[in-house]
Structure 1
């Protein structure tokens, strides 16, 4: 899948996130049941690979399958100020550095609000739960604060 296809899809989300202190093009794919890292990106991370006890068979485009023999254990992926551990299977990927499975995201316990940047920003009143506490929040939602 390309970045353009990801932008036009309702089934995936993509963006740039920090993986092991390096910026990475990440695709969050609800159809994936494993998480992957591109061979090109894994070489930049300078971390040893761990052999899997049993190779994993991965179906890629058009029904073709490939085997994964290694795993990248305990990699860090950062969302805002939070860092989470993830295991990644190295393989040839298109233009993304990392593909994160939805199974991994199901294990995370954090609140996320996804916004379509092609539309006007949401108001406090339009966000469920947050709208119940309008007196706590600013009238306008600021973007990401600049690093100081």
Structure 2
């Protein structure tokens, strides 16, 4: 009886993980991080990754950025950001940047995109008043003849998706050519994808920039009072929506019209007299094809373009054994 009770206790201890070391071996199948199970993952439930409550995202959390996530949010918060924080012993400074794509910039009402030159290299730039700092893509910085230096702090850059990126190096005094005018900028190295350079409020305030997001024009002022304009890229996209969005609009009571459009600008077919060379043989090229051409002992062709040969030539008419 005593041995049976010991076996029962041993089986119970092996069947359920304890709150100690075994709980740390749990790996969430949704976010891929350890420390919690999939049923407890805050990222899967759509909860705030900072406080664990519903109804808002991590950037709108009322607890602020100083509260560290606990419990299942610790693994989910790491999955939300493209990179994890590194323990460098430096202080952490908060920053923010918008994650727009190149196709969204022409229609955006808060940013201006265009082309600038960094050390003579063409760069896709975004002038964003919603970004706290100025950034340069790490892959683009590696192509320049400049060495980034370490910052005395770690910049924790938050994105609208709720994630965060960490940066600890900066390219100081980069030569920037904007509308033919040479300027300087301190660009923090960040793993950007759609843009090479993002000019934030630190750079825009230095040159007293005024953004006209409707006309995609930025007015800049030099320290000596000279003003100039930078013309951004303006997009002219057609008002097209997806089928799913159109279905939702129809469900809400919007009117839809089905139209059959014919392009009247289509060029009409050329007549026989308008085709070169063909017009010289009206008996060979009748206006209407009534039947297939008869079989001939010799192949007869008319070269419409002199000196041209068919792409695929027929092989020699010999038996395979003779070849």
2:186 is equivalent to residue 87 of structure 1: yes
Q: 1:81, 1:43 → 2: CA distance?
A: 24
CA contact (8 A) 2:115 2:232 kept: no
Please identify runs of 4+ aligned residues in structure 1 that moved more than 4 A.
113-119
Q: Which has the larger radius of gyration?
A: 2
- Give deviations 1:54-109, integer Å, cap 9, x for gaps: 11111124121121110000001112231111001111112110011033112112
2:104 is equivalent to residue 5 of structure 1: yes
In the TM superposition, residue 116 of structure 1 has moved relative to its aligned partner by 7.7
In the TM superposition, residue 2 of structure 1 has moved relative to its aligned partner by 1.1
Q: 2:137, 2:233 → 1: CA distance?
A: 27
Q: 1:40, 1:115 → 2: CA distance?
A: 23
Query: Which deviates more, 63-72 or 102-111?
Result: 102-111
TM-score after normalising by structure 1: 0.73
Counterpart selection for 2:229 from 85, 106, 112? 112
Query: Which deviates more, 23-32 or 52-61?
Result: 52-61
Q: Relative to total residues, which structure has the larger strand share, 1 or 2?
A: 1
> Which position in structure 2 is the counterpart of 1:15?
114
> Which position in structure 2 is the counterpart of 1:139?
none
Count of aligned pairs between the two proteins = 119
Q: 2:160, 2:143 → 1: CA distance?
A: 26
Query: Which deviates more, 108-117 or 84-93?
Result: 108-117
Give the direction of change, closer, same or farther, for the CA distance of 1:37–1:20 in structure 2 (3 Å limit): same
Runs of 5+ consecutive residues of structure 1 not aligned to the other structure? 120-148
Runs of 5+ consecutive residues of structure 2 not aligned to the other structure? 1-99, 208-220, 222-226, 237-323
Higher relative contact order (CA 8 A, sep 6+): 1
> Which position in structure 2 is the counterpart of 1:48?
147
Counterpart selection for 1:65 from 164, 168, 175? 164
Q: 1:66, 1:116 → 2: CA distance?
A: 28
> Which position in structure 2 is the counterpart of 1:103?
202
CA contact (8 A) 2:116 2:122 kept: yes
